[in-house]
Amino acid sequence: MSALVVRGISRSFGGIQALLDVSFEVAPGTVHGLIGPNGAGKTTLINVLSGLLAPTNGRVVYRGRDLHRLPPHQVAGLGIARTFQNIRLFPTMTCLENVLAGQHLKAARPLLPRLLRLPAAAREEAGLQTQALATLARVGLQSKADHPARNLSYGERRRLEIARALAVDPSLLLLDEPVAGMRRRESAEVADLVRALAGQGMTILLIEHNMSFVMSLCARITVLNFGRVITTGGRDEVRAHPEVIAAYLGTEEHHA
């Protein structure tokens, strides 16, 4: 029983066919890779999955639930969280606040107890802060909790985005180039985190250009090119697939 079923997704912009008949399935609790040259349509697909973009054709089904025409906040409500290729943090908030903001779906924070300053409100808030700090610790940013997000290094910002996505307590995590621009040690730590999350039962769809990162984590990989799926298969299959190799020939690929 697949967690995520993508069936025949197409999306065009004016005359440009960004995605054409994309289909693949992701098994629950696995890390599934999504690779392809620049412009292949990977981020467009993630935008469709997270509800930011409507497909012109096709269906996405998550845990039996059709995601058709669901707005992004409802998609998140189904347990799907994501990071962004261009990083969309809340710049003037601190790291901790970014994560606290991510708790939206999980934190009731009701008005009345706060107006009346009931102890229950303080307890709830304290609990949320502890949780947020713990989430920051998972990505190794607990020491930067009170730093404004915009002061972080590039790699730290990517990690913060992951932390914020984790605050949603998702069952499906869509990572869009989570280790772009990271050094080997940093990306290794993220790889450990991803492995741990999958071990806990989270399903992860991973876009990355860093091939060794992808290969070390993903048992199954879908390859896109020009908006179409070239193939979906195990990592060895994909590595040896002639069309995949051809698609990457001529492009400088970053092998960490």
Partner 1 sequence: MEQLAQFYAVYGSVINFIGINALLALSLNVTLAAGLLSLGNAAFAGLGGYTAGVLTVHFKLPFVLSICSGGLVAALCGLVVGLPVLRLRGVFLAMATLAFGEVVRIAAVNLEITGGAEGLTIPKVTETWMIYLALAGFAYFLAVLRRTRLGWGLVSMREDETAAACLGIHITYYKVLAFMLGAMMAGVAGGMYAHLNYLITPRDFGFFIAVDLLIYNIVGGTRVWYGPILGAALLTALPEILRGIGVAAGPIRMFVNGLILLLVILFLPNGLASLFTRRRPVPAKLEAA
Please report, as ranges, the residues that interact with partner 1 according to CB under 8 A.
50-52, 71-73, 75-77, 81-82, 84, 88-94, 96, 100-105, 107-111, 114-115, 121-122, 124-126, 129-130, 133, 142, 145-146, 148, 164, 167-168
Of 125 and 189, nearer to partner 1 (C-beta) is 125
In a 10 Å sphere around its CB, with 0-12 CB exposed, 13-18 middle and 19+ buried, how is residue 100 labelled? Answer: buried
Q: Name residues whose C-beta falls within 8 Å of residue 154's C-beta, 6 or more positions apart in sequence.
A: 181, 182
Question: Residue 134: how many CA atoms within 13 Å on its side-chain side?
Answer: 9
- Smallest gap from Cβ 73 to partner 1, in A, equals 5
Separation of alpha carbons 186 and 156, rounded Å: 9
- Which of these, 19, 7, 11, 29, lies nearest to 205 by C-alpha position? 29
Of 99 and 229, nearer to partner 1 (C-beta) is 99
- Smallest gap from Cβ 85 to partner 1, in A, equals 12
- Smallest gap from Cβ 49 to partner 1, in A, equals 11
- Which of these, 62, 98, 89, 100, lies nearest to 78 by C-alpha position? 62
- Smallest gap from Cβ 248 to partner 1, in A, equals 30
- Which of these, 215, 220, 97, lies nearest to 160 by C-alpha position? 97
Type of residue at 115: L
- Smallest gap from Cβ 145 to partner 1, in A, equals 6
Note the helical H segments in 25-118.
Answer: 42-49, 72-77, 95-102, 111-115
User: And the tokens for 110?
Assistant: 């009701």
The β-bridge partners of 116 are: none
Of 71 and 201, nearer to partner 1 (C-beta) is 71
- Smallest gap from Cβ 117 to partner 1, in A, equals 8
- Smallest gap from Cβ 174 to partner 1, in A, equals 9
Q: Name residues whose C-beta falls within 8 Å of residue 226's C-beta, 6 or more positions apart in sequence.
A: 20, 39, 40, 41
Of 37 and 148, nearer to partner 1 (C-beta) is 148
Of 68 and 106, nearer to partner 1 (C-beta) is 106
Of 120 and 245, nearer to partner 1 (C-beta) is 120
Separation of alpha carbons 143 and 136, rounded Å: 9
Of 27 and 101, nearer to partner 1 (C-beta) is 101
